[in-house]
Structure formats: C-alpha cells, structure tokens
Amino acid sequence: MFLTSDPHFGHANIIRYCDRPYVDSDEMDAALAANWNRVVSASDDVLILGDLTMTWSVSRLAAFLAELNGSITIVPGNHDVFWPGRIKAGGRTAASVQEAVETLAATGVTVDADPAPLDIAGELAALHHFPYRGDSGDHDDRYIEHRPVDTGGWLIHGHVHEQWRQRGRMINVGVDAWSQAPVHLDTIADLIKAGPNDLAPLPQRG
C-alpha cells in the first residue's frame, strides 16, 4: 500500500504556493504521474487523502486517474467536489456529490469519506485529510468542525503541504513533504515505530 495527498492536479498556483519544481501545471501533472507510476505497480493499493484537483471536472480527473497504477481509494479533502463538507457549506448538493462519487466509481476509483483506522506497526492510525491542528501556508486553523478529534492516537493526513512531514503523532503524506511521490506504508510504519517526532519535508524533486 502507498499513501499520498494534495497533488492539486491542474492547479498552476500551487507551484508558487509550495515552491514545486515545475514551470507550469502541464509539466507538474506529467511529473506527478511519472513519479506515481515509478513507485506504484498495478497490483498495489493507493490511498489518496484528499485535494486531488481544484480546476478539473470529475470526468477529467477520472480519466487522469485511470492512467495511474494501482487500485485507488480517495478520502476527500476540502477542495474536492465530492467532499461531503461542501454540502454543509452550501456549495454542493448531496445529489451532486453522489454523482461525482459514482463517476469515479465507474472507472474503479473508490471514495471513502469515513475510512476505518489502519493497523500500522501495531498502532491504530486514523486516516483523514485534515491534521488535528495546523494548516497550510499562513492560515490559522480552518475547518475546525471537520477535523478529527485528538484522542492520543496516530493520524495520517494531508492538507498542510510543505509545513511538515511529521509533527508529533501526525504524519503528513502530502506530495510536498515526500518529494512529489506517494509514500510506502512500510515507511510510515518505520516513523510510527520510532515514536512521536518533528520531521521537515524531504527535498523537492520534479
């Protein structure tokens, strides 16, 4: 299994926001796909913890994901049109969110808004787009009502981009923390075995 988050396919401004090593979104999307297919095989499972795209239609996203290796499950993030939080915010209807989920399902991609914790290195680790605390860029903590509750366990998440790779019991699997590629579950297990820590992102790589 591999985990990743926050690719922001098609989002040109994310290159500047997160200092990604690309000249434009076309180059970024091609590199992210190549990095993915370099480490993920057709028989692997991949869990994406949200924020796949801000600009593409669901049908375009589905077509792009079909070119990536592995069996894909998405835990939606706040920028995804199929994020249930968009219903509460008034930006989407329940029917439109369900239609997006069904469009992805037709191409073999699963959307799971409430995934069960994973047993990693003997610890139950929650899976969520948001961290317990902290945010991307200079933002104060947003979406408080949608965040997981910290009960003392490990959390695998995205959302914070290049802010950290690990902070305490929170492990960020965003592409900006892992050299623009998915991270293997064994690598996450090694971090959990080592205990709470503060780790900076790995160097960016196109």
Decide if pLDDT at 42 tops 80.
yes
Is domain 2-199 annotated with CATH 3.30.1490.20?
no
Q: How far apart are CA 82 and CA 94, in angstroms?
A: 9
> What pLDDT does residue 2 have?
98
Average pLDDT over residues 107-134: 97
Average pLDDT, the chain: 95
Q: How far apart are CA 24 and CA 15, in angstroms?
A: 7
171: tokens are 């492990």
pLDDT tens track for 138-171: 899 999 999 999 999 999 999 999 999 999 999 9
For 50, residues 6+ apart whose C-beta sits below 8 A from its C-beta are 5, 6, 74, 75, 76, 77, 78, 79, 80, 83, 129, 158, 159
Sheet holding 110-111, edge to edge: 110-111, 71-74, 45-48, 2-4, 183-184
Residues of the chain above pLDDT 70, percent:
98
Domain boundaries, the chain: 2-199
> What pLDDT does residue 144 have?
94
Q: Nearest-CA neighbor of 77 among 159, 168, 162?
A: 159
Q: How far apart are CA 166 and CA 173, in angstroms?
A: 9
Average pLDDT over residues 115-139: 96
At 89, the pLDDT band (50, 70, 90 cuts) reads: low
Q: Nearest-CA neighbor of 178 among 186, 187, 169?
A: 187
Q: How far apart are CA 206 and CA 21, in angstroms?
A: 5
> What pLDDT does residue 156 have?
98
Q: What angle do CA 168, 15, 40 make, to 5 degrees?
A: 65
Residues paired with residue 184 on neighbouring β-strands, in sequence order = 2
pLDDT tens track for 56-68: 999 999 999 999 9
